[in-house]
Amino acid sequence: MTASATSPRTGMLPVDDTALYLTDTRGPGRPVVYLNGSYADHRPWQPVIAELGAGWRHITYDERARGRSRRSADYSFEACVRDIDAVLAATGVDRPLLVGWSYGAALAAHWADRNPDRVVGVVAVDGAIPYGLTGEEGRERIRRLFRRMRLLLPLVRPLGKAARMTADQHADINIEANEINAAIAPVLDRVTCPVRYVLATGASLGGGQEEMELMRAALDPVLARNPDIRVSAKVPSNHSHILRKDFRAVAEAVRQTAAADDQRTP
């Protein structure tokens, strides 16, 4: 991935036993690192990136076995947290603004909690909410869902909506993510950087309108306890379509987060 100091950078980043497809617009703008949904590649961020424009440094990457990235023996949440460190080291970014959608929002919150002096802020797009399907009943519900989708997954993979994994591996990632989200409230309580949420209001795949409203309401106690965490916008789209239909609200949350950090910096 050779490039000049300001030219865009695209290529494969070796990490552990895999390699991640990385893009970096470079330049002097404030660096924004985009963290994808559980099985998505980097492409859904393009409307947000276009809306923010060239005044920012946009860094995207495909997680393990997603998009153009290679397979791995480790698809755990902790491996994904380590991948953030690898991306930052490769790009030379010291203080990123992390923007995460769904699974990526939980990654952003955990990384910010562990690195309070190294993060500008977090934009959480319909994720990092203290709610999840747990216990054997929840795990079996997730497994059934992905068993039903097993023939569909290879068809949507070229669209960046599934990983190069088996249906069981997709389910394992979702099960772990639900457990992490169900236990994320203490992480959010500790976060000291500006955090701005953009929340969808519609139903979602695997969750009806009532269940999704219950999930998002689980964020309210965190908002009451931590003044650094706010809801930037509630938008009419659903979980799957939020980046495509409400990219302007996400971009505005990025601007708000950066402005909040500027106000805190002496």
Assigned token pair, 177 = 């993510």
Q: How far apart are CA 123 and CA 234, in angstroms?
A: 13
User: 93: number of CA atoms within 13 Å, CB side?
Assistant: 28
The region of weakest confidence among 95-99, 150-154, 204-208 is 204-208
Q: Residue 197's pLDDT is what?
A: 98
Q: At what angle do helices 167-182 and 103-114 cross, to 10 degrees?
A: 50
Strands 18-24 and 9-15: antiparallel
Pick from 45, 41, 104, 101: nearest CA to 239 = 101
Residues 191-215 have a mean pLDDT of 83
- Residue 156 C-beta-side C-alpha neighbours within 13 Å: 13
3-class SS string, 189-247: HHCCCCEEEEEECCCECCECHHHHHHHHHCCHHHHHHCCCEEEEEEECCCCCCHHHHCH
Instruction: Assess whether pLDDT exceeds 90 at residue 83.
Output: yes
Cα distance between residue 211 and residue 84, in whole Å: 31
Phi-psi region of 61 (alpha: psi -120 to 50; beta: other; left: phi over 0): beta
Which uninterrupted H or E stretch holds 137?
helix 135-148
Distance, CA of 195 to CA of 19 (rounded, Å):
30
pLDDT tens-digit map of 216-259? 899 999 999 999 999 999 999 999 999 999 999 999 999 999 99
3-state secondary structure 20-70: EEEEECCCCCEEEEEECCCCCCCHHHHHHHHHHCCCEEEEEECCCCCCCCC
Please tell me the predicted confidence (pLDDT) of residue 7. 62
Residue 208 has pLDDT above 70, yes or no: no
How much is the pLDDT for 211? Answer: 76
Q: What is the percent of the chain where pLDDT is above 70?
A: 94
Assign 20 a pLDDT band (cuts: 50, 70, 90).
very high
For residue 2, the model assigns a pLDDT of 41
- Per-residue model confidence (pLDDT) at position 3: 44
Residue-level pLDDT at 206? 57
Amino acid 57: pLDDT: 98
Is 163:103 a contact under the CB 8 Å cutoff?
no
Give the domains, in start order, of the chain with CATH numbers: 9-128+183-264 (3.40.50.1820)
Question: What's the whole-number average pLDDT of the chain?
Answer: 93
Share of the chain above pLDDT 90, in %: 86
**DSSP labels for 66-121?**
STTPPP-S---HHHHHHHHHHHHHHHT-SSPEEEEETHHHHHHHHHHHH-TTS--E
Asked whether 145 and 206 are in contact (CB, 8 A), the reply is yes
The C-alpha angle 105, 160, 177, rounded to 5 degrees, equals: 35
Residue-wise pLDDT tens digits, 66-81? 999 999 999 999 999 9
Over the stretch 31-80, which tens digit does the pLDDT of each residue have? 999 999 999 999 999 999 999 999 999 999 999 999 999 999 999 999 99
